Amino acid sequence: AAMAMAMAQSLSGASKNSAFISMSFMLKSPSCLSSIRRSGVPPRTIGSTRSSSTFRALRGGIVGTAMSTSAAPSEAHLPWSQLPYMGALVDFREGSLRDLCLSQEQFALRLRSTVSHLKSEQMKSCWLQLPIALSSFAAVANTNEGFTFHHAKDDYVVLKLWLREGEEDKVPDFATHQVGCAGFVLNDKGELLVVKEYTGNRTRTSSPVWKLPGGMLDLGESFEEGACREVFEETGIACDFASVLCFWNRHGLTWGKSDLYVVCRLVPKTLEISADEEEISDCRWMPLSEFVATQQHPLILRICDVLYGLRKESPMPVQHVEPAVEMVKYEVKFPGRDGYATYF
């Protein structure tokens, strides 16, 4: 931008106006504006010395015509990096593409060249990652080449194009499941740690249902880490992981997603409750036999039945009790890779 300004200021009359028109077309392209924003240069200060007639011309649509007739955009394919399973990533958030100034017309031509090149390389899929500042390129990629949205997060969007015509598109959908976990915490007296949550949006109402403390896993978090964290955050009870007791797989949740919910057996290291006042309306240690006799939570009752032999028709007082079966953690490791937590 600075070079273009210096060149324009050294000219006069029609030549200066022509230089401003060409420069403004470059600066109005989405990718160039993105670079200007990152550099800290206010776009409105660029070319501020131009005449009012030139300013009106730039605002009125002459800009695109001037640039498209004065310079042919490059048709070289865009830089890309290889992904697993014969995928190719064109990433405008990283590397040489991050600061590349392209108009929509230039982008369209170079994207077409890229798609053709990748097909000749026998690649299976092309992935296009765009920051929000270049979101207008998404419409160009969809209209011209058939790219479709795959996922979006925070400040970027990813589009995908299957390149193998006549072959089944085997790219999986993004984030088809959410993963949650809960802690089944029994103390030495045979008491179960249970909570009641606040419900409602505008009014804080205590839920009538006693449940296990738990919640959603964070990105990169294991079952045991997530279960111990959630229990501590909600109840103040620190725990050690012992095993996986069970899990369910539900469908049709928010945004049409599915749900994996894992119940972990945890051993308490502390017993004094300090509940999260924002989320939890009540928390207590409840004798397992009392829970079976008085509560209706279907998951917890099934755990008590199948794993602990406790049923409503014959609830037995329990002190220290172990589940009939549980999955404990082992490590499975491929050569040259980190080990994976696996439960048997």
- Count H helices and E strands in the chain, helices first: 10, 14
State yes or no: is 233 an active-site residue.
yes
Q: How far from 293 is each of 245, 286, 304, CA to CA, in Å?
A: 21, 11, 11
Amino acid sitting at position 293: A
Exposure class string for 70-103: b at 16+ Cβ within 10 A, else e: eeebeeebbebeeeeeebbbbbbeeeebeebbbb
- Select which of 233, 313, 322, 331 is catalytic: 233
Q: Is 219 left (phi over 0), alpha (psi -120 to 50) or beta?
A: beta
Report the distance separating Cα 161 and Cα 141, nearest Å. Answer: 9
| Contact indicator for 30, 137 with CB cutoff of 8 Å | yes
Contacts of 169 (CB under 8 A, 6+ apart): 162
**Beta carbons within 10 angstroms of residue 183's beta carbon:** 26
Exposure class string for 27-65: b at 16+ Cβ within 10 A, else e: bbbbbbbbbbeeeeeeeeebbeebeeebeebbeeeebee
Would you please indicate which residues are annotated as catalytic (active-site) residues? 233
